[in-house]
Chains A and B, each alone.
Chain A
Amino acid sequence: MMPDEKKKEAAKKDAPKKDDSKKGPAKPEVKPAPPYPGWELDAPKQVAECKHGAGLLGCWFDPTGKWLYTSGQDNVISRWDFVANKRADLAGHGSWVKSIGFWPGKNLLVSGGYEGQLIVWPVDGVQPEPLRQVAAHNGWIRAVAVEATNGMVVSAGNDGEIALWQLPNLTPVRRWPGHDCHVYQAAFRENGKEIITADLKANVRVWDTATGKLLREGKPVAALHKFDAGFAADIGGVRAWGVNGAGDRLACAGITNVSNAFAGVGNPLIQVVDPKSLKVLQEHKSKEAYQGTMWGVAIHPAGFVLGVAGGSGGMLWIWKPDQAEPLRVLKQPDNIRGMALSADGTKVALAQVNGSARVLNLKA
């Protein structure tokens, strides 16, 4: 120790100690009121872990919240009673599955596979078997949605076509060329009167369900796409989306600021769009310099927005709907490739690269 440091050390020892008794009784720490009372956003507790095995591609709750479905790189969809940790495998696809939709009234599930096939399954039953299979698209199916009232299905994928089907038999209704590149998302809106789709190049289009006519289109989320000239390839697109209960806020998620497409160097981003005007209402970003893709997004019934990412570690962010910076940053044990929010908002499931889905309880 240098002489100066010795002096400082001695001075510290000689200094009078603080008399805590003069402070008076300790004031109780006042915690600020939680921004969303009744919801646990600081440390949601894990209530289940569903170990699918192969690296996960996505997860979905059925509308009742009883089952969690996972899909993996083994081409298998697994249905989990996550409370009892019981699993049933739905085998039938010849490739990866990243799109699933439910028809609540009839307890049916429709899945779309990368082999281009749509399969209808029963939601319940000990061992669900395919009820109906159709070759629906040339190439990957990336999006499937079911219109809850009438059981109409929309599917889309790499062939750029938008196809309509009628449940329970997947009877073909109509199809039309919708996009000139891979279609990543499709959903019904306005009680099934309209279909909204989004693609690799961040085009968002709204169609008349009855005729297939294009009603409006735009590129509000252009920040989610880039043509990387160095690699001569398109990167990005609307990799996930979620809509609020009123149907007037559509959260589109993906990757932005891509500096190296083939290494995945970019930042996750959510852009919330008004589906009527196709204008961006709000952006949600990561707080830290995180690199990766936002693979899941949901707008919670209480109003806050959840987003998950994979790339440089698993992350779950929570935002207030009117703020770009997150309210909560919750680091996760592994990179995440998908997220599901139960219909009542009490559970969130995270599909991890390591092959397990973690179910977290959001209810305080």
Chain B
Amino acid sequence: MKRSPSCGSFEHGLSRRAFMGGLAAGAAFGVPTLGASSLGAAAGALSNDLAKSQKRVLMVYLSGGVSQLESWDPKPGSKTGGPFRAIPTSVPGVHISELLPHTASQMHRLALVRGINTAEDDHGKGSLIMHTGRKEEPGIQYPHLGSVCSKLLGDEAAPLPGYLHITPGAGGGSSPEDAAFLGPRFGPVGISDGKAPLNIDRPGGLTPEADLARQNLRRKVDERFLAARRTARTEAFTQTFDQAKGLMSKKGLFDIVGEPDRLLDSYGRHDFGRHCLLSRRLLEGGATFVKITHTNYDTHHENFDFHIEQLGEFDRSFATLVDDLHLRGLLSTTLIMVISEFGRTPNINHLYGRDHWSKAWSVALGGCGIAPGAVVGKTNGQGTEVVDRQVNGGHLFHTYFQALGLDSKKNFYIDQRPIPMADPKTEPIREILA
């Protein structure tokens, strides 16, 4: 679905970032240009106060489908419970898996939704639900949460792209199509393996004066081009240069080696620990939406051994991140979500594995707008069904938006056609909102 650039759409009526996702990454990597709009003097660093009041989002995506029974909704001693025990948390009466001891100590800053039924066991489709709040529908593509947040919460003057995706390996993470009708500028910019984008420094042979002259020339050409052929894509394309320049001005954020040893140890000196620390630096540095993908949880075989390994890595890093956000005064303005595309079967298969299970699983939320320590939803004794407060991706999206202070019942407009921000058949999970 293409957006008309001059339709008076929601996009143009709202404050938005000057920098774009998606194609922006291309500019950072040296993609040829049509031109660029002015970065402007206002693109300086946000003041601390402003930064702290800005709403932001941290999404931790446990790719492949983390087991709810080995994380947020353990069933020890039951036929389906597996070998792990449940441990108490910092919230009296709330227990989670013993694989998450550090996270358990942060439970008073988090909340659990234990009654999710997304009814979709396919990786791609499940992921779509959890990223857009909608099931796949013919004829329309809904924007991912990161793109929506980039658009609605982002600051036009911020030098960082609104939607950053820290990927576990090299490549990936930049997919402009995630922004759907919002336009590619709101797509994610991939941060491969948490490393600064390539070519982030100005080429050595280029003086600042020559660079400025080059930028000015490009801007003039861009302006002439855009005057005649302005579309969302061309606009996004030209703005990739502003985004690249913004990233260049913030390249210090990617350099985590200057952090104290104690903090580096606490986050963990492995990839995910490094990515968590980077996410905090990016959020603190003005990013609106940071997604970290941790892989892989698709444990059809040896579910328990692999969850020890994967959650062992996740637990301490994530708990440190929550604590660090709190200590820096950012937690109250940062919505945290730990999600997957689905959970895993209560039944333990012949390979000591668990398969895909979307009928009864859990996510963890926390921070901005979320009631600390809340637990909503309940599954039965063997974890096979939701028995209380069943919700789906639509409910979660209403909850996210409400937690961020956005009216989830508003619409986007495409050519004056209203597109509800969140599935109108669902409501926020009010019990978990602060």
Contact = CB atoms under 8 A, between A and B. Distances in A.
B150 interface: no
Interface in B2-22: none
Given A261-B301, A263-B301, A73 B306 contact: no
User: Interface SS of chain B: helix, strand, loop or mixed?
Assistant: loop
Contacts, number: 68
A148 B359 CA distance: 51
Interface stretch (A2-10, A165-173, A225-233, A269-277): A225-233
Interface in A317-361: 334-335, 337, 353
B83 interface: yes
A293 B301 CA distance: 10
B79 A262 contact: no
A54 interface: yes
Max chain A C-beta neighbours (<10 A), residue from B82, B85, B348, B351: B351
Contacts of A292: 351
A310 B351 contact: yes
Given A94-B85, A95-B85, A264-B302, A73 B351 contact: no
Nearest to A352: B350
A311 B301 CA distance: 9
B79 A232 contact: no
A234 B348 contact: no
B296 A232 contact: yes
Interface of A: 54-55, 73-75, 94-96, 114-115, 139-140, 158, 182, 230-235, 261-264, 292, 310-311, 334-335, 337, 353
B35 interface: no
B83 A262 contact: no
A337 B301 CA distance: 13
Nearest to B84: A95
B146 to A, nearest CB: 23
A313 to B, nearest CB: 9
A263 B83 contact: no
B309 A234 contact: yes
Interface in B74-100: 76-77, 79, 82-85
A337 B350 CA distance: 9
Interface of B: 64, 76-77, 79, 82-85, 168, 271, 295-296, 298-302, 305-306, 308-310, 348, 350-353
A114 B305 CA distance: 11
Given A232-B296, A234-B309, A264-B301, 8 more contacts: A73-B79, A233-B306, A233-B309, A235-B302, A262-B306, A264-B353, A292-B351, A311-B350
Contacts of B353: 262, 264
A335 B351 CA distance: 9
5 contacts: A114-B83, A114-B84, A261-B301, A264-B351, A310-B351
Nearest to B270: A232
B296 A233 contact: yes
Given A73-B79, A74-B79, A233 B310 contact: yes
A230 B296 contact: yes
B301 A262 contact: yes
Nearest to A266: B301
A353 B83 contact: no
B350 A231 contact: no
Contact of B296 (A75, A231, A337): A231
Contacts of A235: 302
